[in-house]
Amino acid sequence: MHTKTIAELLKILDKGECSSEELTKIYLARIQKLDKTLNSFITITEEFALSAARIADEKRRKEDKAPLLGVPIAHKDIFCTQGIKTSCGSKMLDNFISPYDATIVTKLKEAGTILLGKTNMDEFAMGSSNETSFYGPVHNPWDPALVAGGSSGGSAAAVAANLTPAATGTDTGGSIRQPAALCGLTGLKPTYGRVSRYGMIAFASSLDQAGPLAKTAEDCALLLQAMAGVDIKDSTSIDNPVPNYNTMLNNSLEGLKIGLPKEFFGEGLHPEVEMAVQNALKTLEKMGAKVFDIELPNTKLAIPTYYVIAPAECSSNLSRYDGVRFGYRCDNPQNLEDLYKRSRGEGFGPEVKRRILIGTYVLSAGYFDAYYVQAQKVRKLITTDFINAFSKVDVILGPTTPSPAFNIGEKTKDPVSMYLCDIYTISVNLAGLPALSMPGGFVQQCPIGIQLIGNYFEEGKLLNIAHQFQQLTDWHQKTPLTFKE
């Protein structure tokens, strides 16, 4: 039962072959037994889950038609959940019990989902490997010596290990797609504004976006259907009609124009990852797609641009954690200045401090124009590159990451090397576009991902392509042997 997709579980629940309570108990038992190896959960909400499952079973008996009724899921611990700890992977919020639900938590609850728990993550979503968490690193189910990817590594590891059928994540520079690739999952970053950010603890407000991680594109479509839509509580939420993603999954790919950016294929790309991309192209061409070479000339500027804009926004957003109103407070402060300094110094980890310092520097009076304003101008150039590309092609394809998962601890002393892990994903966030990572092969038993980038609000097209690809391949059906039974 635990290896089933959401689509399969819904059919089982509809037929009455298993109750939601029974299903929830199966996953809770697996989490208790197996997560010690992975460290993918921060909080397990057993009582909440079983109570919600019983309610779901009662609703089903009354023929309630909620689209995801009785399906267990997990939330990244960046989403506020009423009455449940929301830590954001940080000591700073280790004692924070949210008084309200994030909008996507509310939406998925209304769709009938059951919350199994809150998943581990890089502290305040700052990281590419899920090693910066106050609660320790997340281990990859395919090989516990390897990273699971970040910052949504806990969500990805939990789904890949069959501890939950699906989970939510957030993507600021690749943090859904990158762990999806390294754990062999499908992960979708929607268009900026497609999914509400209300109740999602902010890292970089102009870049953050919530999305689903699941085994298949079909499951991602089911989750996005429930998550998407305008929200009056979020000023960046866009009032754009939400299509029926499930009805779009079986559209023909005949005549689809796929763009292949030359900038995605060069130094630093693992040869077997490149081979997997070429094989994926051949599969899509069999279905009628056409491949065109394109250029995204400002791609090389994406990482330096991101690491000016994102830290600047993080510096501003994290100023609220001062030891006064909520969160961690140091012991016996001597005065207000001591309270601020020691609460923040003790509450934040090294990577968060690094980004706050960078952000504060680029926003300072003497450097604002030279760094922050310049970065915003380059951001516009990167966006224009994509706009020009989408005047010629329907979708852009390339690798999600330059290599498969690396060893835990391998890059922690080299931040620049770590930042380069997101080289193919960051530009998408700067432009606010939707993108999806789907399983595309293996390198020495380690999964790798293929990235699809779409035009604004064309999540349905990405899900359609991924779903059709998954009808002809079985990469998405692979499960780590240790967690199969």
Instruction: Give residues with Cβ within 8 angstroms of 43, minimum separation 6.
Output: 77, 84, 85, 87, 117, 118
Burial 434-447 (b: 16+ CB within 10 A, else e): bbbbbbbbbbeebb
Residue 250 Cα distances to 436, 460, 477, angstroms: 17, 11, 19
Outline where DSSP puts E strands in 424-474.
435-443, 446-454
Active site residue 151: yes
Radius of gyration over every alpha carbon of the chain, rounded to an integer in angstroms: 21
Nearest residue to 347 via CA among 368, 326, 373, 363? 326
H or E, element range at 420:
none
Active site residue 364: no
The full DSSP string for 167-231 is EEEE-SSSTTHHHHHHHT-EEEEPPTTSB--TTBPPSSTTT--EEEEESSHHHHHHHHHHHBS--
CA dihedral over 426, 428, 431, 434, signed as positive or negative: negative
Residues counted in the chain: 485
Annotated active-site residue in 129, 151, 237, 315: 151
- Residue 184 burial (CB < 10 Å; 0-12/13-18/19+)? buried
Annotated active-site residue in 40, 152, 175, 237: 175
**Do the Cβ atoms of 400 and 437 come closer than 8 Å?**
yes
Helical ranges in 254-334 per DSSP H: 271-286, 302-317
CA distance 201 to 222: 24
3-state secondary structure of 27: helix
Annotated active-site residue in 76, 107, 118, 461: 76
Burial 155-166 (b: 16+ CB within 10 A, else e): bbbbbbbbbbbb
3-state secondary structure of 81: strand
H or E, element range at 258:
strand 257-261
Active site residue 76: yes
3-state secondary structure of 76: strand
Active site residues: 76, 151, 175
